[in-house]
Amino acid sequence: MKTLKYISTASLLFCILLLSPKVIMAEVTNIKLPDKFLGKFELDKSENFDEYLQSKGIGWILRKMIMMTSLTKEFKKSSSDSDTYDAFNYSIKKDTAYLSWKLGETIRAEGFDSKIHKITFTYDPETDTFYEKHVRADDPDDKGEVYGYKFEAGRLVMTLLPSSGLMPGDYCCAFNDGGLSLTNLFTVSSQILNVFIL
């Protein structure tokens, strides 16, 4: 009788371990992006952007040209499938489009640097933070960048996360919804930054 009980416990444990990833993935795919993250957001202010570009090896003249361009980000539900989203970056230099993605799934698309990126969008409901992770597909050593989006005082604030090789809040910019000036720039705390795991 004890042997049978032991086998049943082991079988149950095996089933739990086998099914856990499927259950976890089901929970991830059921998470929806809150409506407040959907819309167009214009760049209002940035901090340490020049330093960030310099750390990426971009020369002085090109950095100054980049600093003078405006940036608008747009997140919306995809018109092709109500369970997917689209993301757009509009700038004078280049526009990018990341189409038909689901939270937690990785897509491949061209980034601002004209290279193909593996891009993953996630949302953490506990911290109310929306994440965008980019890894260059053709570079096995690329650590990539992870951006966290969070609302503070009605503004969408994007912060480059430490997994990108910088300290929390080293690069931060704020977007408004089309004309309001930024009064309070929010830098995401290191506690929030540590929740992103893929």
Provide the residue type at 189 as one letter: S
Q: Which of 34, 16, 17 is nearest to 124 (CA)?
A: 34
When pLDDT is averaged across residues 75-89 and rounded to a whole number, the result is 95
Q: What is the pLDDT of residue 95?
A: 94
Alpha-carbon gap, residue 55 to 45, rounded angstroms: 20
* pLDDT tens sequence across 61-76: 888 877 787 889 999 9
Can you list the domains of the chain with their CATH numbers?
Answer: 31-193 (2.40.128.20)
When pLDDT is averaged across residues 17-34 and rounded to a whole number, the result is 54
Q: What is the pLDDT of residue 63?
A: 83
Please state, rounded to an integer, the average pLDDT across all residues of the chain.
74
Q: How confident is the model at residue 56 (pLDDT cuts 50, 70, 90)?
A: confident
Provide the residue type at 139 as one letter: D
Using DSSP's 3-state secondary structure scheme, residue 66 falls into helix
Buried b (16+ CB within 10 A) or exposed e, 96-118: bebeebbbbeebebebeeeeebb
Q: What is the pLDDT of residue 175?
A: 67
Q: What is the pTM of this model?
A: 0.69
Quick check: 96 pLDDT over 60?
A: yes
Q: Which of 56-60, 131-135, 179-183 has the lowest mean pLDDT?
A: 179-183
Q: How confident is the model at residue 112 (pLDDT cuts 50, 70, 90)?
A: confident
Q: Which of 98, 3, 78 is nearest to 38 (CA)?
A: 78
- The full length of the chain comes to 198
* pLDDT tens sequence across 158-182: 988 865 554 444 555 666 664 333 3
* pLDDT tens sequence across 124-133: 999 999 999 9
Q: Which of 40, 63, 48, 77 is nearest to 179 (CA)?
A: 40
Tokens representing residue 146 in the block: 């992870």
